[in-house]
Amino acid sequence: MSSARIVLISAIASGQGKTTVTAALARKLIKQGLRVRVFKTGPDYLDPMILQRASGAEVYALDLWMVGLDDCRRLLAKAAAEVDVILIEGVMGLYDGNPCSADLARAFGVPVVVVLDAAKMAQTVGAIVLGLQQYGPVEMAGVIVNRVASASHATQITQGIRDIRLLATMPKLQASLPERHLGLVQPDEIAEVDQILDQLADQIDLDMNAWNSIPPIMLEQSLAAAQTQPTAQLLAGKNIAIARDAAFAFVYHANLECLRAAGAQLHFFSPLNDEPVPADADAVYIPGGYPELHCASLSGAQRWQNSMRDAYAKDVPILAECGGMMVVAETLKDAQGKVWPMVGLLKGEVVMQTKLAGLGMQALETLDGELRGHAFHYSTLITDAEPIAQTVKRSNGAQGEAVYKQRALTATYFHAYFSSCPAAMARIFSKDELS
């Protein structure tokens, strides 16, 4: 039996400051000598990068549909055995989505901390928090109020809150975490990111008495471990080359663990640095990221491009996922309208646009079962190639992303969560048909 103080940090909507507050709270508690682990609800790559930098530990996804109840339980129980505090950042608003953040909190008996941007309100904060508590209902651990203008403003907010702890306040910030079209900027691209995170930790005014009054949660670690079956060694002895740099950074830690659990050896290389695919690679994984920000470097990386063409010609299995598919196409038109030649394994042109082209949870039906994941992209692929399959949207059952298969290349905007169907994952990295 393991125990830790666990809270789910949510809000009424996106844009309330959940990630900023979660990062600040994690760094604050660590400075006080506590061991902290952070999780992120739902599919996300960018927020976890910031939260990982703030906490110093890998950030895993928790989602009752994509990750699954048993794997969520296993991840939480393992963390509770190792740390004092677990922070789970929610997605969007508390009740948005199916399953939503509130569903996750109720599944594990985790109380909710609501983050509210109080820049244009005062006592009404109390009404909103009360409504969020009673609508579900959920157990409410407290509220953290963001963008507090003054001591007088804080007093007015406190007057409006009834029977719920005011855990902390944060002032209007002079330094903040920058964003771009897919979300937050990757921490390695932010100058003095650790100084910013330290400033955030110093600026969150945490009531430690209120925080310590939140009771720890007991989690049965042995039960969680017993419910997780070992992954079959479907990739035993295979060397998988994975692109990893500022252009290709959108990879779940859990996906890497799933590959290793299946027996694969992982080797990382950087297309941005014109590093070729390792000669001994049995398979290649080009994940998502921000290739559209690095068109000149990727278009000019001839050693890397030639190694991709050589691997394709040798029928080495290649998974080109979202950003990966963007660079294995013939050309990529950036946001300024300039067309860049790319690897050219998949016929067609990728075009950046200013609005979302794909978003949400999706599933791919395969010979081995349902492979779950999501999509989130601002580009479109214009191609005459015929897909071998289409994903299905979780929200409404409509057709989702196309999956293209040419020789041993699998290309799609769909981000797969490998452990949702390890056998399908292993099939992608072999020469077998997916569906």
Q: Class of 239-428 per CATH?
A: alpha beta
User: Which pLDDT does position 179 carry in this prediction?
Assistant: 54
Q: What is the amino acid identity at position 312?
A: Y
Strands 265-269 and 239-243 turn out to be: parallel
Model confidence pLDDT, tens digit, residues 234-266: 999 999 999 999 999 999 999 999 999 999 999
User: Which pLDDT does position 357 carry in this prediction?
Assistant: 85
Q: What is the amino acid identity at position 107?
A: A
d(CA 238, CA 426): 10
Burial class (CB in 10 A: 0-12, 13-18, 19+), 313: exposed
Phi-psi map region of 232: left, alpha, beta (phi>0 left; psi -120 to 50 alpha): beta
| Domain boundary assignment for the chain | 2-226, 239-428
Strands 346-352 and 379-382 turn out to be: antiparallel
Model confidence pLDDT, tens digit, residues 108-140: 999 999 999 999 999 999 999 999 999 999 999
Domains 2-226 and 239-428 share a fold: yes
d(CA 31, CA 17): 21
Architecture of domain 2-226: 3-Layer(aba) Sandwich (3.40)
User: Which pLDDT does position 182 carry in this prediction?
Assistant: 47
Q: Identify the helix (H) or strand (E) that includes residue 51.
A: helix 46-55
Q: Among all residues, which ones are annotated catalytic?
A: 322
Tens-of-pLDDT digits for all 435 residues of the chain? Answer: 678 999 999 999 998 999 999 999 999 999 999 999 999 998 888 889 899 999 999 999 999 999 999 999 999 999 999 999 999 999 999 999 999 999 999 999 999 999 999 999 999 999 999 999 999 999 999 999 999 999 999 999 999 998 899 999 999 875 555 554 444 555 565 557 788 899 999 999 999 999 999 999 987 654 444 445 566 899 999 999 999 999 999 999 999 999 999 999 999 999 999 999 999 999 999 999 999 999 999 999 999 999 999 999 999 999 999 999 999 999 999 999 999 999 999 999 999 998 888 889 999 999 999 999 999 999 999 999 999 999 999 999 999 999 999 999 999 999 999 999 999 999 999 976 665
d(CA 7, CA 52): 17
The set of residues, in sequence order, having a beta carbon less than 8 Å from that of 155 and lying 6+ positions away, is: none
Which tokens is 355 given? Answer: 């609005």
**Among all chains, which residue has been given the structure tokens 């897919």?**
182
Which tokens is 421 given? Answer: 């169907």
